[in-house]
Structures are given as C-alpha cells and as structure tokens.
Amino acid sequence: MTPNRNQMVTLARRPQGKPQREDFLLVEAVIPKPADGEMLIQTLYLSVDPGMRGMMEEPKSYSAGFKVGQPLTGRSVGRVVVSHHADFAAGDFVYERLPWQLYSVSDGRKAKRVDPNVAPLSTYLGVVGVPGFCAYFGLKEIGKPRAGETVVVSGASGAVGMTAVQLAKLESCRVVGIAGGAEKVAYLRDELGLDAVVNYHATDDLRTALDQACPDGIDVYFDNVGGDITQAALSLINHHARIVICGQTSQYNHPSESGKFAPERLIQKSALMQGFVVYDYEDRNDEAVARLGQLIRDGRLQHRENIIEGLENAPQAFIDLFEGKGFGKQLVRLAHITE
Ligand code: NAP
C-alpha cells in the first residue's frame, strides 16, 4: 500500500456462531480530509475486544451495532497527523473509538489526549484503559473484597481478569483464577502469586476442581466468561457473596442461549449479583488511572499484551479471542512510532 492510501476492515456479513475470516473484508480506501474543527488521526493501536461480537448482531447489546459493509469500530490510540481543531495539534496522541482503518477523521468530541510519558501508549487500551477500569470499579464498587475473603475470577488470563486478580491480592484476599491451558495457569500462579488456579481445559468436573481450590467457599465472584464456568462458581458461593458480572465471553457466539442462569442460588445465599458497564464510572476514570498507574510504577501491578502486527491481521486476532489463543490484552499495531 502506498502511504497516501487508506485501508479499512469492514463487516462483510453478520457472523453465525463463531466469527470466521469471511465475515470481514479488508478494503482499500482514500484518506479522508479533515474539515475545519476536525483532525486526521493515524491509528497506532487497535484494541480487540470480545464485546465487539455482540455489536456484530442486529443492534441490541450495550453499544450500538456494526453495519454490514461499514468498517468495524473499536477503542484505539492514534497520533494526530493534521489538525484543524483548536484543542488538538499535529503530533498529539489521542484515545478514541475509531473505525478499524489506518487513518480516520475525528471532530475531537470524544477524543482524549494520552501521554506516553505517563504510561506506554498501548496500555491506554489495557491496564490503564477500559479493561483496567472494569477490574478496578467492578471490584471496588460491586465486589468489595475484604481481607481474608475468597475471590474467584473467571477469564483470569484476559486483560480484565489479570488486573482483577492482582487488585484482589492487594486487598489480602485468597485469590483463585480460572483459565485455560498450562502456560496461563503457570503465569497466574507463579508470576502473579495467585493462591490457586483452575485450568478448565484440564478437567471435566469443574465444580469439584473449583471446590477444592476454594475450601472456604466463594465470597466474591468476578465473572468475565459466563456459561458453565459461572454455574460452577455460583454453586459454591457463600452467604452475602457478591457477584460482579463484567462479561460473558463464552456466550457471545451463542446469543440465543440463556447460559442456564439459576437465580434461586442468589436467594439461598442472600447474594448480590450486579452487572455494570465501565461507562457507569466514566466520571471517575482519572481516579482509576491514578491508582493503576501508581501500582504499575511501584511494581505492584503487572500487565501483559499480545500485539499482532498489521490491520490485515485484525480479523484473525478477533477470531482468536474466542479460541483462547491470545494471552493478555489483545492489540493490533498499525504503525510503529518512537514514543
Ligand atoms: P480478553 O482479554 O479478550 O480475554 C480473552 C480470554 O477469554 C481468552 O484468552 C480466554 O482465556 C477467555 N475465553 C475466551 N473464550 C472463552 C470461553 N468460551 N470460555 C471461557 N473463557 C474464554 O477479554 P477482556 O478484555 O479481559 O474482557 C473480559 C470480559 O469483560 C469480556 O467478556 C468483555 O466483553 C467484558 N468487558 C466488559 C466491559 C463492561 O463495561 N462491562 C468492558 C470491557 C470488557 P482462557 O484461554 O484462559 O480461557
């Protein structure tokens, strides 16, 4: 591709079940020209998120749906290359939900300047971005873990889960992660210091494995995946347990299935289950950035990224999310720059 050409990834058709390569199309396009009050952004990193799957259905999830033939959109970090906007200058780095394309025009209303001197640019899509905010607010405002309690996190190897387990450890809880595969289990146990990790790929009796990992039951269950894993966790909750519903990745490719939800368990245990969207806490993002940033600088919060190169590989990176192939925050890098 020549430098004056744009490229985008569009939704070719709505996926049926698991997404396939044919559901996406890489399309050549022209670079749009910013008008007065607008700027041209070169995207540097795309965030690849399981929640985008819901947006590929006819619109009904918590975000507006994608349109067939139109580019996907996602959380992105980019660099302003041309600015006719009073608040942004060429060379600024910004965070915004942008089309999956190399260059996009923005009116700046939803753009937020990010500083590579405060945190590496990629982390504004991960540990100091929405996944980190989910872990921080979901635990602090809903899970409310207390020292000595048992906290179980599903999807523990993912961007949200990995942060949630570490924040729970910092509250002196007994922390149990659920993840798929020996490498992820070893990392969570040996690098992040979890008290136990259940490898759901390696057992056909998840409930027993989880029971053994949680001898005192479960006080806080932070759910990223839903389905059978959540059923097993709910069967082990203690009185006044708190259940944080952050995501339901195992259900996203089967939107018509209910996930066998058993609300009677909440009654028996006087438990609280609450869902949330990270935007509920939008006005407190600076608080989360300050706390998570400080923990990173202190060496008390680790993060992990899986960076794929090139827009043309973004569809496969998305498909791989549902195969557990990635490990940590899944990103696609569209351009290299010196931060
Ligand atoms: P992520 O980093 O993409 O996590 C991907 C991991 O999910 C995979 O590595 C895999 O780990 C696990 N996974 C994939 N398919 C699975 C399945 N069928 N069963 C069990 N585990 C499966 O995701 P994330 O960014 O941490 O997000 C976690 C959840 O939070 C997602 O559901 C996302 O949609 C949700 N979310 C919610 C909000 C909100 O505002 N509420 C905002 C952002 C994200 P293993 O191989 O270890 O299983």
For 24-44, the DSSP string reads EEEEEEEPPPP-TT-EEEEEE
Q: Rounded to 5 degrees, what are φ and ψ at 310?
A: 95, 130
Is 177 within 8 Å of 165 (Cβ atoms)? Answer: yes
Atom index in ligand 1 nearest the CA of residue 326 equals 9
What per-residue confidence (pLDDT) applies to 3?
A: 52
Q: pLDDT > 70: what percent of the chain? A: 95
pLDDT at 60: 60
Ligand 1 atom 7, closest CA? 155
- pLDDT tier for residue 1 given thresholds of 50, 70 and 90: very low
Q: In this model, does residue 99 exceed pLDDT 90?
A: yes
What is the atom index within ligand 1 of the atom nearest the CA of 156? 47
- For 223-232, write each residue's pLDDT tens digit: 999 999 999 9
Q: What mean pLDDT do residues 200-212 have?
A: 97
Query: Separation of 22 CA from ligand 1 center, angstroms?
Result: 23
Q: What would the pLDDT profile of 179-195 be if each residue is shown by its tens digit?
A: 999 999 999 999 999 99
CATH top class, domain 130-279: alpha beta
pTM comes to 0.93
- pLDDT tens-digit series, residues 64-92: 789 999 999 999 999 999 999 999 999 99
Sequence-distant (≥ 6) Cβ neighbours of residue 84 within 8 angstroms: 34, 35, 36, 37, 38, 39
Please provide the size of the chain in residues: 339
Give the nearest ligand 1 atom to 276 CA. 41
pLDDT of residue 255: 63
Domains 6-126+304-333 and 130-279 share a fold: no
Instruction: Out of 3.40.50.150, 3.30.565.40, 3.90.180.10, 3.90.100.10, select the CATH number for domain 6-126+304-333.
Output: 3.90.180.10
Task: Output the average pLDDT for the chain.
Answer: 93
**Cα 160 to ligand 1 centre (Å):** 7
Mean pLDDT of 270-276: 90
Q: Phi/psi zone of residue 226: left (φ > 0), alpha (ψ -120 to 50 degrees), beta?
A: left
Q: Residue type at 338?
A: T
Virtual CA dihedral for 125, 130, 132, 133, nearest 10 degrees?
150
Nearest residue (CA) to ligand 1, atom 2: 158
pLDDT in the model for residue 254: 79
**Is the confidence at residue 307, as pLDDT, over 50?**
yes
Query: What lines the ligand 1 site, CB under 6 Å?
Result: 49-51, 130-131, 134, 155, 157-161, 179-181, 184, 224-225, 229, 246-250, 276-278, 321-322, 324, 326, 329-330
User: Which sequence spans correspond to the domains of the chain?
Assistant: 6-126+304-333, 130-279
Nearest CA, atom 41, ligand 1: 277
DSSP secondary structure letters along 214-227:
-TT-EEEEEESS-H
For 8-19, how does the pLDDT look when each residue is reduced to its tens digit (9 = 90+)?
Answer: 999 999 999 999
Q: Give the nearest ligand 1 atom to 200 CA.
A: 48
